[in-house]
Amino acid sequence: MQEKYDVAIVGAGPAGISAACVLADNGINAVVFERGEFPGAKNISGGVLYGHDLARIIPDFSQKNCPIERNIVESRIWYLSRDGGYSVSYRDKAFESQRRYNVFTVGRAKFDRWFADQASQKGALVVCGTVVTDLLRDENGRVTGVRTDRPDGDLNAKVVLLADGINSPLAAKTGFRQEPSPSHVALAVKEVIDLPEEVIDQRFNISSGNGVTIEILGSITSGMNGVAVIYTNRKSLSLCIGANLADFATKKIKPYEMLEIFKTHPMAAPLIKGGKPAEYMAHWLAEAGFENIPKLYGNGYLIAGDSGMLFNTLHREGSNMAMVSGAFAAQTIIDAIRKNDFSRSSLKNYESRLQNSFIFDDLKKYRRFNPFLAHHPEIFTSLPEAMGFAAREMLTVDGTPKKKKQKKIWKNLRKNHSLSALLRLMWDGYRSV
């Protein structure tokens, strides 16, 4: 490629596009390389996005035909045993009016494409169907551009932003960050199930345009450390289920078979009944935790979003961390261009920006959450069954005195869990959130 760009960005996901928007707003010429045929062609998420963070990049997004599926007004949490489950939920009128689009769902194939269009309109160049295969470096090891799989493949740039997501063969090849070990990622599969809009409205007890999210934990991941979700889209439901990759390797449970079992669970089956499967996908989530975040900058490059392992498992927040870190990276680049200094020490500001934001605060606060789940397998095995047993016993009206039932429940719980183990679980759980 002939032209010289100030900034080369790898990946047109939320991180890369947010950076491209901020750079273009400041008149800096940036080129984004995306390996998919269009932005979003390779991407998936549960589908939840956050209006607050999107508005920082595109303030009037809801008036700009942003492809929103449903505005989320209710969050449910399920804790499931094999045959039943607990559900808690919270719905609030505020989310229909003043706080509309606080949280909403999207399909990433449409959203990422729309988002990239916004960046193009601002003046960024988005080049699709192009894989970045290597980084160019000078004799001192400073990154000076990217190599692509296009015929005229190399492009020099003053600085490179790696926003290439969590699965990065580029990282594996160049070592800009370590390849994750299986225990540092979760593998999730997703199925989109088509249903008529009115049926979704009825089943979730919502008015048109509004939606519900369900976060699910328990026996549903076959004893593995994992989660599932059901999110509402306009005319479909998103079902995701995933677990730690090291657990999949140990248990030898096939991801798609786990998904099929999930679909038959008595809590899930009625919601998807009669629906038509429309798409099946797979992707990783970062589970490495705060301690394993790589160095996010170096001579001539920065890392943003999933590529830097910025993901909050407990609150399933990744896209917002991607957007905010992408914007921070762009601001750091703007400063560096002013100084004409792209060295490591000049880019260090990026880290301070992250440290002073919710990103490092939250990742630090929840750094014990992943280890908590990993160290308490009973959360996914015996505990949901014992809790299911307890509720089933208490709710069964059969003339047995309640005191006797409580004794039976306690005995059943203690069968698999010592008192000290239960106290440990509660204490660790309390400290992790």
Partner 1 sequence: MGASIEDKLFLDRFNVHETSHLKIIDGAVCIDDCEQQLCLYICPANVYRLEHNRISINYEGCLECGSCRIGCPHLNIEWKFPTGGYGVRHKFG
| Residue ranges of E strands in 197-300 | 210-218, 226-232, 236-244, 276-286, 297-298
Shortest distance in whole angstroms from residue 257 CB to partner 1? 8
Nearest to 45 by CA among 332, 319, 313: 319
Residue 12 within binding range of ligand FAD, rule CB under 6 A: yes
Does 30 sit near ligand FAD (CB under 6 A)?
no
Partner whose binding site includes residue 385, from ligand FAD, partner 1, none (CB under 5 to 8 Å by kind): none
Please state whether beta strands 103-105 and 297-298 pair in parallel, antiparallel, or not at all (unpaired): unpaired
Report the residue from 42, 76, 122, 263 that binds ligand FAD according to the rule CB under 6 A. Answer: 42
Q: Which does 85 bind (CB under 5 to 8 A by kind): ligand FAD, partner 1, none?
A: none
Residues from 192 through 211 that contact partner 1 (CB under 8 A): 192
Which two tokens mark 282? Answer: 């797979």
Least separation in angstroms between residue 323's CB and ligand FAD is 8
Amino acid at 425: L
Cβ at position 44, least distance to ligand FAD in Å: 6
Closest by Cα among 342, 304, 299, 296 to 322: 304
The binder of ligand FAD chosen from 8, 13, 22, 114 (CB under 6 A): 13
Helix (H) or strand (E) holding 52: helix 51-57
Confirm if 116 and 91 have CB atoms less than 8 A apart.
Answer: no
List the one residue from 164, 191, 215, 247 that touches ligand FAD (CB under 6 A).
Answer: 164
**Exactly one of 78, 79, 95, 111 binds partner 1 (CB under 8 A); which one?**
111
CA distance 22 to 119: 9
Site for partner 1 contains 389 (CB under 8 A)? no
Which CB, 28 or 287, lies closer to partner 1? 287
Q: How far is residue 179 from each of residues 88, 171, 307, 347, measured CA to CA in Å?
A: 38, 7, 10, 23
Choices 4-12, 179-187, 315-323, 346-354 (CB under 8 A): range interacting with partner 1: 179-187
Residue 388 binding partner per list partner 1, ligand FAD, none, with a CB distance cut-off of 5 to 8 Å that depends on partner kind: none
CA separation for the pair 258, 261 (Å, rounded): 5
- Sketch the per residue contact string, 114 through 133, with partner 1: x for CB under 8 A, - otherwise: --------------xxxx-x
When the beta carbons of 160 and 189 are compared against partner 1, the nearer one is 189
Partner from ligand FAD, partner 1, none binding residue 128, C-beta < 5-8 Å depending on class: partner 1
Calpha distance 121→24 (Å, rounded): 9
Determine, following the binding rule CB under 6 A, whether residue 162 of this chain makes contact with ligand FAD. no
Contact status: 158 vs partner 1 (CB under 8 A): no
Q: Which is nearer to partner 1, 68 or 189 (CB)?
A: 189
- Taking CB under 6 A as the rule, does residue 226 contact ligand FAD? no
Token look-up 């203690």 returns 414
Which DSSP symbol is given to 37? S
Which residues are within 8 A (CB) of 395 and not within 5 positions of it... i.e. 6 or more apart? none
Decide: 32 and 127 in contact? Cβ < 8 Å. Answer: yes
- Do 238 and 231 form a contact (C-beta atoms < 8 A)? yes
CB of 12 to ligand FAD, least distance (A): 5
292 binds partner 1 (CB under 8 A): no
Closest CA to 309 of 360, 273, 253, 344: 360
And the tokens for 261? 């079992």
Q: Give me the residues that bind ligand FAD (CB under 6 A), please.
A: 10-16, 33-36, 42-48, 131-132, 163-165, 170, 188, 190, 240, 242, 283, 285, 305-307, 311, 316-320, 322
Q: Give me the residues that bind partner 1 (CB under 8 A), please.
A: 35-37, 40-45, 107-112, 128-131, 133, 148-150, 166-167, 169, 172, 179-182, 185, 187, 189, 191-192, 233, 236, 245, 248-249, 252-257, 260, 263-264, 277-284
